[in-house]
Structure 1
Amino acid sequence: MAKAKVELKKIQGGVTAAKGFQAAAAEAGIKYKGRQDMALIYSEAPCRQAGVFTTNIVKAAPVKWDQKQVYGGAPAHAVVINAGIANACTGQEGMDYCRRTAEAAANALGVAAGSVLVASTGVIGMQLPMERIEAGVRAMAPRLNSSLESGANASRAIMTTDTKNKEVAVEVYLGGVPVTIGGMCKGSGMIHPDMCTMLSFVTTDAAISKELLCEALKTDIQDTYHMISVDGDTSTNDTVLLLANGLAGNPEITEKNEDYETFCRALNYVNETLAKKMAGDGEGCTALFEVKIVGAETKEQARVLAKSVITSNLTKAAIFGHDANWGRILCAMGYSGAQFDPERVDLFFESAAGRLQIIKDGVAVAYSEEKATEILSQPEVTAVANIKMGEAKATAWGCDLTFDYVKINADYRS
Structure 2
Amino acid sequence: MRNGPYKSATRAISNVTRAMSSQAPSKAHLHKPILSSKFPVGYAVGGSHCGVKKDASVNDLGLIVSTTDSPASAAACFTRNAFKAAPVVVSQDILTKSAGKARAIVVNSGCANAVTGTQGMKDAWAMSKETDVAMFKSKATPSTLVMSTGVIGQTLPISKILEGIRASADNLGSDFAAWEQAAKAFMTTDTFPKLVARTFALGDTTYRMAGIAKGAGMIHPDMAPALPHATLLGCVVTDAAVAPKALQKALTYAVDRSFNSISVDGDMSTNDTIVALANGAAGGPELTATDPAFATFQEELKDFAVQLAQLVVRDGEGATKFVTVSVRNAPTYEDAHRIASKISTSALVKTALYGEDANWGRVLAATGSVPLSNGASIDTGKVNVSFIPSDGTSKLPVLVNGEPEKVDEDRAKEILSLEDFEVEVDLGMEGGQEAQYWTCDLSYEYVRINGDYRS
TMscore range, shorter length: over 0.9
The 1:111–1:308 alpha-carbon spacing in structure 2 relative to 1, beyond 3 Å, is: farther
Tell me the alpha carbon deviations over residues 299-354 of structure 1, each in whole angstroms, 9 at most, x when there is no partner: 11111111110011100001000110000001100112234222211111122343
Is contact 2:390–2:422 with CA below 8 Å preserved after alignment? no
Deviation at 1:73, TM superposition (A): 2.3
Tell me the alpha carbon deviations over residues 231-269 of structure 1, each in whole angstroms, 9 at most, x when there is no partner: 121111111100010112122212333310110111011
Separation (CA, whole Å) in 2 of partners of 1:73 and 1:217: 18
3-state secondary structure, aligned to 2:73: strand
- Please point out which of 98, 108, 111 is paired with 1:73: 98
The 1:193–1:76 alpha-carbon spacing in structure 2 relative to 1, beyond 3 Å, is: closer
Deviation at 1:70, TM superposition (A): 1.4
- Please point out which of 382, 401, 404 is paired with 1:364: 404
- Please point out which of 343, 349, 352 is paired with 2:387: 349
The 1:219–1:111 alpha-carbon spacing in structure 2 relative to 1, beyond 3 Å, is: farther
Is contact 1:77–1:111 with CA below 8 Å preserved after alignment? no
Match in the other structure for 2:226: none
Is contact 1:203–1:242 with CA below 8 Å preserved after alignment? yes
Computed over aligned residues only, the root mean square deviation of the Cα atoms, in angstroms, reads: 1.8
Letter in 2 for 1:300: E
Pick which of 12-21 and 197-206 moved more: 12-21
Is contact 1:14–1:182 with CA below 8 Å preserved after alignment? no
Match in the other structure for 1:7: none
Match in the other structure for 1:388: 428
Uncovered stretches (5+) of structure 2, i.e. residues with no partner:
1-32, 224-229
Match in the other structure for 1:333: 367
Is contact 1:16–1:146 with CA below 8 Å preserved after alignment? no
Tell me the alpha carbon deviations over residues 354-395 of structure 1, each in whole angstroms, 9 at most, x when there is no partner: 321121012221231111111111111211111111321100
Tell me the alpha carbon deviations over residues 25-66 of structure 1, each in whole angstroms, 9 at most, x when there is no partner: 111121240211111101112211001101001011000000
Separation (CA, whole Å) in 1 of partners of 2:289 and 2:337: 28
Match in the other structure for 1:397: 438
Separation (CA, whole Å) in 2 of partners of 1:335 and 1:111: 56
Separation (CA, whole Å) in 2 of partners of 1:292 and 1:35: 38
Separation (CA, whole Å) in 1 of partners of 2:214 and 2:353: 24
Deviation at 1:398, TM superposition (A): 1.0
Deviation at 1:208, TM superposition (A): 1.3
The 1:335–1:238 alpha-carbon spacing in structure 2 relative to 1, beyond 3 Å, is: same
Matched, 1:180 2:203: no
Matched, 1:18 2:40: yes
- Please point out which of 261, 272, 277 is paired with 1:238: 272
Match in the other structure for 2:159: 131
Deviation at 1:132, TM superposition (A): 1.1
Is contact 2:38–2:199 with CA below 8 Å preserved after alignment? no
Structure 1 segment 153-172 matched on structure 2, within 5 A: 153-172=181-200
Q: TM-score, structure 1 length as denominator?
A: 0.94
Determine which structure has more spread, i.e. the larger CA radius of gyration: 2
The 1:365–1:14 alpha-carbon spacing in structure 2 relative to 1, beyond 3 Å, is: farther
The 1:174–1:126 alpha-carbon spacing in structure 2 relative to 1, beyond 3 Å, is: same
Pick which of 399-408 and 356-365 moved more: 356-365
Is contact 2:253–2:298 with CA below 8 Å preserved after alignment? no
Is contact 2:50–2:160 with CA below 8 Å preserved after alignment? yes
Pick which of 61-70 and 349-358 moved more: 349-358
3-state secondary structure, aligned to 1:160: coil
Match in the other structure for 1:54: 79
Tell me the alpha carbon deviations over residues 145-202 of structure 1, each in whole angstroms, 9 at most, x when there is no partner: 1101111111112100111111212221113100122210101111114149200111
Q: TM-score, structure 2 length as denominator?
A: 0.85
Matched, 1:39 2:62: yes
Separation (CA, whole Å) in 2 of partners of 1:262 and 1:204: 14
Identity %: 39
Pick which of 54-63 and 139-148 moved more: 139-148
Letter in 2 for 1:305: I
3-state secondary structure, aligned to 1:71: helix
Separation (CA, whole Å) in 2 of partners of 1:15 and 1:236: 35
Match in the other structure for 2:3: none
Pick which of 316-325 and 363-372 moved more: 363-372
Deviation at 1:13, TM superposition (A): 6.4
The 1:401–1:37 alpha-carbon spacing in structure 2 relative to 1, beyond 3 Å, is: same
Deviation at 1:211, TM superposition (A): 0.9
Pick which of 97-106 and 181-190 moved more: 97-106
Matched, 1:100 2:126: yes
Letter in 1 for 2:51: G
The 1:244–1:81 alpha-carbon spacing in structure 2 relative to 1, beyond 3 Å, is: same
